[in-house]
């Protein structure tokens, strides 16, 4: 697992680095005392796990994590137990209260590794979905989807040789799809990220079609931009 650590205390980062060096499945890429530099790094690099202090001079670690577009798994490391509940509310893998020893750190690392393996197995299993077409359930391979479009009470799934219409909302369809592979870019469109041909802040070109980016989906541009660095 590729990981980074953010903490305003250099000694805390040294301890995390020493612990990570003992764990074969952890690869500590960098450590940061400056959260802003860490945010830039996270925007440009794919990281699996983040060790994150909460109480820092310039920014609260919880808020930093909430604002990330692509969220890696996170383990909070802090001297303040008052943040524990809020930490788990953002789906933290674990919450390490300083000073923590190696065994406690190792336990948290194993939890992160097990959860990543679970997510990977789920992604491998989810390579197709079933939708109702003409009173029958039809299997659609995710890799064949070029575009998903809302049409009143129906959605049109653009696949070859011809598109498929199914009675479903775009929101329900979005819940069926793996979020790392598909993104909603407009109230009427979901696109497969892998098939984006080009894009700017206002529109996306996929499968030879020009798709507008809705005003409520302005973060899509940053998401697609970050994917280009992964």
| Residue 32: both structure tokens together | 């940061």
pLDDT tens digits along 181-206: 899 999 999 999 989 999 888 999 99
> Is the distance from CB of 54 to CB of 61 less than 8 angstroms?
yes
pLDDT tens digits along 120-165: 766 555 688 888 888 778 889 999 999 999 998 899 999 989 899 9
Domains of the chain, CATH where assigned: 2-124 (3.40.50.2300), 128-227 (2.40.50.1020)
Name the one residue in this structure whose structure tokens are 């303040």: 80
pLDDT band at 43 (very low <50, low <70, confident <90, very high): confident
Measured CA to CA, the distance from residue 141 to residue 170 in angstroms comes to 18
**Helix (H), strand (E), coil (C) string for 191-214:** EEHHHEEEECCCEEEECCEEEECC
pTM (two decimals):
0.56
| Residue 9: both structure tokens together | 């205390």
């Amino acid at each position: 697992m590729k990981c980074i650590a953010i903490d305003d205390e250099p000694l805390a980062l040294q301890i995390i680095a020493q612990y990570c060096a003992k764990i074969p499945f952890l690869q500590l890429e960098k450590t940061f005392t400056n959260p802003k530099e860490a945010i830039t790094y996270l925007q440009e690099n794919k990281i699996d796990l983040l060790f994150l202090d909460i109480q820092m001079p310039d920014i609260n670690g919880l808020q930093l994590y909430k604002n990330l577009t692509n969220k890696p798994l996170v383990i909070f490391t802090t001297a303040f137990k008052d943040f524990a509940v809020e930490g788990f509310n953002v789906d933290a893998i674990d919450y390490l209260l300083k000073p923590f020893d190696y065994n406690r750190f190792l336990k948290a690392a194993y939890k992160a590794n097990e959860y990543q393996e679970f997510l990977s197995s789920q992604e491998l299993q989810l390579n197709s979905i079933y939708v109702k077409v003409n009173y029958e359930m039809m299997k659609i391979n995710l890799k064949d989807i070029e575009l998903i479009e809302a049409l009143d009470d129906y959605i049109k799934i653009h696949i070859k040789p011809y598109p498929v219409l199914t009675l479903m909302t775009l929101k329900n369809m979005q819940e069926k799809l793996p979020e790392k592979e598909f993104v909603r870019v407009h109230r009427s469109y979901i696109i497969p990220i892998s098939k984006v041909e080009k894009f700017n802040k206002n529109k996306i070109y996929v499968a030879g079609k020009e798709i507008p980016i809705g005003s409520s989906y302005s973060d899509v541009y940053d998401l697609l931009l970050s994917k280009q660095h992964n």
